[in-house]
Amino acid sequence: MGAAGHRRFRLFEKICLEGFQSGLSWLTILRKREKLPQRLRRLRLSSGARFKEKDVARLLADAGIVRHRGKIESTINNAARAIELEREAGSLAAYFWRFEPHAKSRPKVLDLATLRAMATTPESVALSKDLKKRGWSFVGPTTVYAFMQAWVWSTTTSMAAIAASWWRRSGGLQPPRRMTGLAAQTKRAALRRPS
């Protein structure tokens, strides 16, 4: 799998992992974190859509993953839907970025209390509805919001807030080498502000 294929699969994997977490504690997912992505990687988007009942039975017998028939079958179904979506939108990333929260809709203050109070956003509700309309499953608004926080917002609001908070508390320690974009801008702004 080339770099583009890897990125493509990572997005699919991420939304599937959020679906597997649905209704479970994160501790359960963390304990199964190693095996679940490995099993998902076997489920290439092109071949995953062709999984049969014997494949589902094999996965249900695997104690290393969340053994929930509905979630496993959902992942197989969503692989086929992801292929359709890529044909229409050009890529999963292009499709998901259509639902990026507008800057004006983002909270003015983004702290832990604000994040905990926000179980969904209008954008996660819209993305969830659109995915369901396209036949996806285990993509409710809260699950989609978690996905957006981890992917869409991680490059915008959430990472910026986390970076700003960390830089204020750290006293301006050296930035990670790979910090770029909004997070780097936020770090510079945080260093200029008093704590």
User: How much is the average pLDDT of 20-28?
Assistant: 87
The count of structural domains within the chain is 2
> DSSP state, 171?
T
Residue-number span of the structural domain to which 73 is assigned: 3-155
Q: Are both 129 and 180 inside the same structural domain?
A: no
Rounded Cα distance between 109 and 79, Å, is: 37
Q: Is the pLDDT of residue 101 over 60?
A: yes
Higher pLDDT among residues 142 and 31, named by residue: 142
DSSP string of 82-117? HHHHHHHHSSHHHHHHTTPPPGGGS-SS--HHHHHH
Rounded Cα distance between 82 and 27, Å, is: 28
Instruction: Report yes or no: 99 and 126 within 8 Å, Cβ to Cβ.
Output: yes
Q: Hey, what are 34's tokens?
A: 């190693």
Q: Are both 145 and 166 inside the same structural domain?
A: no
Q: Is the pLDDT of residue 32 over 70?
A: yes
Q: Are both 108 and 168 inside the same structural domain?
A: no
pTM of the model: 0.72
pLDDT at 51: 78
Count CB neighbours of 23 within 10 A: 12
Rg of the Cα atoms in the chain: 18
Q: Are both 134 and 163 inside the same structural domain?
A: no
Whole-number percent of the chain with pLDDT over 70: 67
Instruction: Report yes or no: 168 and 28 within 8 Å, Cβ to Cβ.
Output: no
Instruction: Report yes or no: 99 and 156 within 8 Å, Cβ to Cβ.
Output: no
Q: Are both 69 and 13 inside the same structural domain?
A: yes
Q: Are both 74 and 129 inside the same structural domain?
A: yes
Q: Are both 106 and 138 inside the same structural domain?
A: yes
Q: Is the pLDDT of residue 165 over 90?
A: no
Q: Are both 46 and 123 inside the same structural domain?
A: yes
pLDDT at 195: 45
Going from the C-alpha of 26 to that of each of 17, 52, 125, the distances in angstroms are 11, 29, 22
The most confident of the ranges 17-26, 80-89, 108-117, 133-142 is 133-142
Residue type, 90: G
Q: Are both 49 and 116 inside the same structural domain?
A: yes
